[in-house]
């Protein structure tokens, strides 16, 4: 009896969705940052064993759209709501419980549901017991599970719970498939992650990354990418004094890309200004949204 299914992760921005998917898949596929709204796409990670195949989807944090970009992000959430066999609703244990439960109820899920309480290491056992009891009384989730995605605590038990809820099915993907996204996509995401790590305030939210060249040679991979911003002042900040900031982005990104592709990489970064790209359908399509 082989099991397979789509297990999609939903929650507010910064609940730990990407960290959880990376922990479940055992690979860093989704970029991670303490800042909210880091994830912009629906990212798939596939786990295959002889007994089961789980197709995980990390989705953007649920927000009220303010730009066309946000609308595209919420479109990714909507598509994930429609094809889930199992929905994982994840919340930070220190966040407002009523607010989260209200948000989850508004999704009107038809899939089997697990409520995942993340960052459990931040509360005492007595507080966690009270929280779990309230979540169970909510009654809309089949299982309530405590984890710390960052520390890996509770993740193996969560995986077993998921397997128990999967429908019987043949695999959807060949057994060596890790994701449905291209290497080029992940290169762009890695560069974007470094911008989230290195810059404060609005800079990361005004930035997109477009990979313009991905050329595999015998000894290395040659990659060029454009960092897109909305204003000249942002371009100056990304470049830094005598190019110091863009060099730092490039160095950190190259190290992670080399780990990801298992090969030497030559990475060239450029900065381009595209005013209001977040509200422009042509630019959004060009940048992969």
Q: Which residues are annotated as a binding site for GTP?
A: 11-18, 58-62, 118-121
Q: In what order do the strands lie in the sheet with 143-146?
A: 43-48, 52-58, 3-10, 86-92, 112-118, 143-146
Is residue 98 classed exposed, middle or buried when 0-12, 13-18 and 19+ CB atoms within 10 A define those classes? Answer: exposed
What's the full length of the chain, in residues?
Answer: 289
Residues 186 and 43 sit within 8 Å (Cβ to Cβ): no
Known binding residues are 11-18, 58-62, 118-121
DSSP secondary structure letters along 93-159:
TTS-HHHHHHHHHHT---SEEEEEEE-GGGS-HHHHHHHHHHHHHH---SEEEE-BTTTTBTHHHHH
Return the structure tokens found at 199. Answer: 């810059």
Beta partners for 153?
Answer: 148
């Amino acid at each position: 009896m082989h099991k397979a299914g789509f297990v999609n992760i939903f929650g507010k921005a910064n609940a730990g969705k990407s960290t959880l998917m990376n922990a479940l898949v055992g690979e860093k596929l989704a970029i991670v940052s303490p800042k909210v709204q880091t994830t912009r796409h629906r990212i798939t990670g596939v786990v295959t064993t002889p007994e089961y195949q789980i197709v995980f989807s990390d989705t953007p944090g649920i927000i009220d759209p303010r730009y066309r970009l946000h609308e595209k992000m919420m479109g990714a959430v909507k598509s994930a709501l429609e094809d889930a066999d199992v929905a994982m609703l994840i919340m930070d244990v220190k966040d407002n419980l009523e607010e989260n439960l209200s948000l989850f109820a508004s999704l009107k899920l038809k899939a089997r549901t697990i409520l995942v309480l993340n960052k459990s290491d931040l509360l005492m056992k007595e507080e966690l017991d009270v929280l779990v009891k309230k979540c169970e009384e909510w009654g809309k989730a089949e299982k309530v599970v405590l984890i710390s995605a960052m520390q890996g605590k509770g993740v193996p038990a969560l995986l077993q719970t998921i397997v128990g809820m999967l429908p019987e099915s043949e695999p959807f993907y060949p057994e060596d498939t890790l994701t449905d996204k291209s290497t080029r996509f992940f290169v762009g995401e890695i560069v974007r992650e470094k911008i989230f790590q290195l810059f404060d305030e609005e800079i990361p939210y005004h930035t997109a990354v477009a990979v313009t060249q991905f050329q595999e040679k015998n000894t290395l991979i040659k990659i060029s990418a454009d960092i897109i911003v909305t204003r000249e002042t942002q371009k100056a900040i990304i470049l830094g004094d005598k190019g110091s900031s863009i060099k730092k982005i490039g160095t950190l990104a190259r190290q992670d890309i080399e780990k990801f592709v298992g090969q030497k990489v030559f990475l060239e970064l450029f900065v381009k200004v595209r005013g209001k790209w977040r509200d422009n359908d042509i630019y959004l399509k060009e940048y992969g949204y």
